[in-house]
Amino acid sequence: MRLYSTKTPSLKATLEEAVFRSLPPDNGLYMPEVIPQVSAAFLQQIEQLTFNEIAFEVSKTLLGDDISQADVRKIVEQAFDFEAPVVQIEENTHVLELFHGPSMAFKDFGARFMAALMSHFLAQSQQEIQILVATSGDTGGAVAQGFFNVPGISVTILYPSGKVSDIQEKQLTTLGGNVRALEVAGTFDDCQALVKQAFLDPELSQKFNLASANSINIARLIPQSFYYFSAYAQLKYLGQPVVFSVPSGNFGNLSAGLLAKKMGLPVAHFLAVTNRNHVVPSYLKNGEYLPKPSVETISNAMDVGNPSNFVRLTRFFCDDWQQVKQDISGFWFDDTQTRQAMTQVFDATGYIMCPHTAVAYLGLKEYQTLHPQKNTGVLLSTAHYAKFLDVVEGALGVEEIEVPQRLSALLSKPKVATQISKHFADFKAFLLQ
Ligand SMILES: *Cc1c(COP(=O)(O)O)cnc(C)c1O
C-alpha cells in the first residue's frame, strides 16, 4: 500500500512510514494512492463470514504486499475480540452497535488495529516507541486500552484536570503497566500544545522514538471500514443497499464508510449528521466550507469546528462538491431535538441511545421522510449510553440506569495519575526522569 499527501501528491510514503508519522511532513493527510476493489466472490458470500474474516479480507485487499497474509490474520485476531452487531429498533431502522470494545466507544476499532499494526512493524525492527497522546475524553480511553500490554510500546496520556467525566478519567488512570496518565493543570488545548512541543524538542526526539496516536492516522481509518462491510453482511437478506447515518465530529468515521464504498461495498447513501457544530452540513448545502470555533453540546465528542478529516472526505470525490452531494446528505440537530429523540425511542421501544447515536437517529428519520423509496437505514451507534450517564438520565427522566459491569467495575478502582503543570519544562522533566 502506497500513500500520498493531500497537500503535495508527489510526496509518497509506505504504510509503515504513514503509520509512525501520522502526518506527512507538509501537514497534509495521507491517502491511499490506489483504492483496490474487493472481489465479487467475497461480496457474494459475505453473509457467511465472521467479523474477523471480513476484516481479514478487506485488510488483505487494501494492504497488498506490505504484510504477509499470515501476519494480517494475526493483526486482525489481536485487534478484534469484540463484535459489531446490527440491532433492529424500528421498521427500516437498524443500529450498528460499535460500543462492544474495551472502552465502549467505536474508537476502539481504530485504536486496537493501530496498536496491532505498530507492534507488527516494531517486532520486525526490534525498536521501542513512546506514544504521546492528548485527550479531551474518549480518544484517551480507546488508546489506553488499545495499547495496554502491547510489547515495545509505552503510552503517556495527557488529560485536562477536572474536564473529563469520572468514567473517562478512570479509563485513563487505572490500567497501569505500560500506560501512564498525566493530569495537566490546564485545558485540552494546553495538553495538545505540550505534545506538539515534545515532538519538536531535539533532546526528546534523540532520546526516544516518539510517535503519535492521532485520530487522522491512516491506521485508525482502515479498520473503521470493516464494520460497514459487516453491517452490509448482516442486512444482506433484505435484498437492497442501505443508507448509513453517521454521527460526525472529525469525520473519520464517515471517511471510512466512503473508503468501503470505493472498495466496492454497495451503499445507497451516506448521511453526515452533526450537532450544532454544522460546518459540513452547511458545506453540503451551499458548497462553502467555513470552519468555526466549536460550541459545546451534549454530544460533546462531536463538538468540532474544523473537522480534521474534511480534506480526506472531499478527496474521495476529487474535491468536486457536486459529486460529494450525490453520495452524502447533511443534517444537523440541537440538544433539545437530541434529548427528544432519546426519550421518544426509549418510550416507544425501551432502547437507550447515547446522545451521539440520537443525532444519527434524527438524521435518518429526516432522510427517510424526504426519500421514502430509499428507506432501509442503519445508524452508527458510536458509544454506549452509560458513558454519558448524566445526560441520559436527565433526558429520559430515569434515575439509576443500569451500567455495564465493565464500566461500574472501573469506578471502584484507584486512580493513578501524575499531576503536572501546563509548562513544557515540567513535562519534559517527567519524560526524562
Ligand atoms: C469520536 C466520536 C464521534 C465522532 O467521530 P468522527 O470520526 O470524529 O466523526 C462520535 N461519537 C462518539 C461517541 C465519539 O467518541
* pLDDT of 401: 87
C-alpha of residue 136 to centroid of ligand 1, in Å: 12
Weakest-pLDDT range from 61-70, 123-132, 328-337: 123-132
Q: How many residues does the chain have?
A: 433
pLDDT at 7 > cutoff 90 = yes
* pLDDT of 406: 85
pLDDT in tens, 224-269: 999 999 999 999 999 999 999 999 999 999 999 999 999 999 999 9
* pLDDT of 143: 92
Mean residue pLDDT of the chain comes to: 94
pLDDT at 374 > cutoff 80 = no
Weakest-pLDDT range from 93-107, 187-201, 363-377: 187-201
pLDDT over 70 percentage in the chain: 100
pLDDT over 90 percentage in the chain: 79
C-alpha of residue 10 to centroid of ligand 1, in Å: 31
The reply to whether ligand 1 has any atom less than 6 angstroms from the CB of 107 is: yes
pLDDT at 214 > cutoff 80 = no
In this structure, are residues 309 and 246 in contact, taking their beta carbons and an 8 Å threshold?
Answer: no
C-alpha of residue 255 to centroid of ligand 1, in Å: 12
Give the pLDDT band (50/70/90) at residue 37. very high
* pLDDT of 267: 97
How far apart CA 360 and CA 255 sit, in angstroms, is 16
Average pLDDT over residues 93-121: 95
Q: Which atom of ligand 1 is nearest to the CA of 357?
A: 11
Residue from 250, 279, 302 to probe ligand 1 pocket by mutation (most atoms less than 8 Å from CB)? 302
Residue from 97, 114, 136, 248 to probe ligand 1 pocket by mutation (most atoms less than 8 Å from CB)? 248
The reply to whether ligand 1 has any atom less than 6 angstroms from the CB of 102 is: no
Q: Who wins on pLDDT, 268 or 403?
A: 268
How far apart CA 330 and CA 20 sit, in angstroms, is 33
pLDDT in tens, 58-77: 999 999 888 999 999 999 99
Sheet of 243-247: strand order equals 86-90, 93-97, 377-381, 243-247, 269-274, 328-332
pLDDT at 125 > cutoff 90 = no
* pLDDT of 164: 85
Average pLDDT over residues 87-101: 96
Average pLDDT over residues 174-203: 91
pLDDT in tens, 145-160: 999 999 899 999 999 9
* pLDDT of 32: 96
CATH code for the structural domain at 83-104+220-405: 3.40.50.1100
Average pLDDT over residues 94-105: 95
Average pLDDT over residues 208-228: 91
Average pLDDT over residues 105-123: 94
318: left (phi over 0), alpha (psi -120 to 50) or beta: left
The reply to whether ligand 1 has any atom less than 6 angstroms from the CB of 101 is: no
Q: Taking the domains of the chain in order of start, what are their residue ranges?
A: 83-104+220-405
Give the pLDDT band (50/70/90) at residue 124. confident
pLDDT at 400 > cutoff 90 = no
The reply to whether ligand 1 has any atom less than 6 angstroms from the CB of 312 is: no
How far apart CA 245 and CA 254 sit, in angstroms, is 9
* pLDDT of 360: 98
Q: How many CA atoms lie within 13 A of 387 on its CB side?
A: 31
Residue from 106, 220, 381 to probe ligand 1 pocket by mutation (most atoms less than 8 Å from CB)? 106
- Residue 131 three-state SS: strand
Buried/exposed code over 92-111 (b: 16+ C-beta within 10 A; e: otherwise): bbbbbbbbbbbbbbbbbbbb
Give the pLDDT band (50/70/90) at residue 398. confident
How far apart CA 244 and CA 364 sit, in angstroms, is 8
**Encoded amino acid at 204, one letter:** L
pLDDT at 371 > cutoff 80 = yes
Q: How many CA atoms lie within 13 A of 267 on its CB side?
A: 27
Determine the straight-line distance between the first and last CA of the chain, rounded to whole angstroms: 39
* pLDDT of 11: 95
Q: What is the largest CA-CA distance in the chain?
A: 63
* pLDDT of 272: 98
pLDDT at 57 > cutoff 90 = yes
Q: Residue 320 class from Cβ within 10 Å (0-12 exposed, 13-18 middle, 19+ buried)? A: exposed
Average pLDDT over residues 64-93: 95
